[in-house]
């Protein structure tokens, strides 16, 4: 058995959280992946994974082996990609994480522009609504929306997203139109559960940014689902324009409280500081920044 291939298989299984997920990622059968991991454990003489009916757990030996194997695989990958980059070729793997709705609607078209310029780069894109740690989870680049935490990561502003309050015409007909943020407490509001400061929306009132809290009638961890719920008349929603405006164009949503400015959200690229940044990562960052600056312009 090829040891490097076995390392790659073991890593894929752990990162995917299952043998089936690792098999899909590698394009292999479940049986082949399971066999490779079992033979690797046999050769090493230790149990790497503790298997239960519901999930896999790394053993202490498995955790140690994963960290070492990942380091070796990454160094080999960097070496091979670097040789190509010395010849003027941009190639290799890039792992990128972004929020789900932003990734689907905004990021994928930008990645298409990158792929056209650099077809030899293999992109691994993970779209999910959670705060990803690029260092701990081996991401080259992370898209982060909203306020940034203090960290050792480099942050580069990609764009700003206008925010609006939206409601369906049917909702406003049934519950009335709010004319001031003070009235939110009397309305049915839909809340994005991953918002760090709890159920509240911020408006510029009398020259000052003020936060207005409310009791939501529904919470959800996905912005697209909340926009759909609002479009069906379930309540008011506070969302980026890229989610709300397509529904406005269809007549399913309208703006509410537009007399009160809502601060835009910043969208940032986060990445670790490196002594030598790979050319492929530099190229991706430049492509994304150029794409979104042109779109905003």
Lowest mean pLDDT among 128-132, 164-168, 289-293: 128-132
pLDDT single digits (tens) 240-273: 999 999 999 999 999 999 999 888 889 999 988 7
Beta strands (DSSP E) in the chain are 49-51, 56-58, 92-98, 121-127, 141-145, 154-161, 163-167, 190-192, 200-205, 208-213, 218-220, 237-240, 254-256, 265-271
pLDDT single digits (tens) 65-108: 888 888 887 777 666 666 655 556 677 889 999 999 999 999 99
Helix (H, G, I), strand (E, B) or coil at 167: strand
């Amino acid at each position: 058995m090829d040891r490097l291939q076995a390392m790659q298989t073991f890593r894929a299984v752990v990162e995917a959280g299952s043998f089936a997920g690792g098999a899909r990622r590698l394009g292999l059968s479940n049986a082949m992946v399971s066999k490779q991991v079992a033979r690797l454990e046999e050769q090493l003489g230790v149990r790497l994974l503790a298997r239960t009916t519901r999930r896999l757990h790394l053993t202490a030996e498995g955790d140690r082996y994963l960290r070492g194997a990942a380091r070796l695989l990454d160094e080999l990958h960097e070496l091979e990609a670097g040789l190509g980059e010395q010849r003027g070729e941009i190639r290799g793997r890039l792992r990128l994480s972004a929020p789900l709705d932003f990734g689907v609607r905004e990021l994928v078209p930008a990645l298409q522009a990158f792929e056209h310029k650099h077809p030899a780069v293999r992109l691994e894109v993970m779209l999910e609504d959670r705060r990803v740690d690029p260092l701990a989870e081996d991401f080259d680049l992370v898209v982060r929306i909203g306020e940034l935490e203090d960290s050792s990561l480099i942050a580069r502003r990609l764009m700003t997203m206008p925010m609006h309050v939206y409601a369906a015409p049917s909702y406003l007909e049934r519950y009335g139109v709010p004319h001031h943020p003070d009235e939110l407490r009397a309305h049915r509001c839909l809340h994005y559960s991953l918002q760090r400061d709890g159920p509240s929306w911020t408006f510029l009132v009398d020259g000052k940014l003020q936060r207005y809290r409310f009791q939501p009638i529904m919470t959800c961890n996905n912005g697209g689902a909340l926009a759909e719920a609002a479009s069906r008349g379930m309540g008011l929603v506070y969302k980026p324009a890229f989610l709300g405006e397509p529904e406005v164009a269809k007549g399913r949503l309208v703006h509410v409280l537009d007399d009160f400015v809502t601060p835009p959200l910043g969208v940032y690229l986060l990445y670790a500081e490196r002594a030598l940044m790979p050319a492929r990562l530099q190229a991706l960052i430049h492509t994304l920044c150029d794409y979104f600056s042109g779109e905003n312009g």
